[in-house]
Chains A and B, each alone.
Chain A
Amino acid sequence: AQSVTQLDSQVPVFEEAPVELRCNYSSSVSVYLFWYVQYPNQGLQLLLKYLSGSTLVKGINGFEAEFNKSQTSFHLRKPSVHISDTAEYFCAVSGNTGFQKLVFGTGTRLLVSP
């Protein structure tokens, strides 16, 4: 079984500042990792995913994440945030065989202020 820990429930940041949202996972098997974003009153949307290959993954809206197997982490970063990045961000993990069954973290609310 897999589990995901997002230690920060809320991250306040000023516009144009860099941000890092932390995600750690636990699994007894090899995994695929995902970051989804949920804007207010909307469903979730994929930001990026790590399946294999380069450990640095680039996604939409200028976000990127780095897979670190030794630290079992998949932190999300953006060098300069915008007001429009204010949303809830979910890290998710799935085993890499069979049908996909995503296990989501509890989410991190990113609050960008002017």
Chain B
Amino acid sequence: DSGVTQTPKHLITATGQRVTLRCSPRSGDLSVYWYQQSLDQGLQFLIQYYNGEERAKGNILERFSAQQFPDLHSELNLSSLELGDSALYFCASTLSGASTDTQYFGPGTRLTVL
């Protein structure tokens, strides 16, 4: 158990819909990362937050957005969903986001878009 929690574990929805994925980092960790894992794209970095502020953006679509709240949990919002958005979405947390840090991954949310 990494100490990072993600809810829900599974999510099935239809095209055009909007969903919210939630992540609670390890106790004491200030930085949160979001990743998308799919068969064709592999593991792709989406976005990083540190203590409530966005720090880095990766291959995140404009239809996707995220935020980190004062209690440090984070939410990833996916809207106007397409079939190709079906994937595993992982959250990871680190103490400070420093380049030497170890990222601790949650168990993931499996999103299926029908």
Binding site for B on A (CB under 8 A): 32, 36, 41-46, 49, 51, 90, 94-107
Contact = CB atoms under 8 A, between A and B. Distances in A.
Contacts of B4: 43
B103 A102 contact: yes
A97 B99 contact: yes
B107 interface: yes
A6 B77 CA distance: 31
Interface residues on B, range: 20 to 34
A44 B105 CA distance: 6
A32 B100 contact: yes
Nearest to A94: B99
A98 B94 CA distance: 14
B50 A99 contact: yes
Contacts of A95: 99
B45 A101 contact: yes
A42 B107 contact: yes
Contacts of B90: 43-44
Contact of A101 (B2, B42, B56): B56
Given A99-B48, A99-B56, A101-B48, A46 B99 contact: no
B105 A49 contact: no
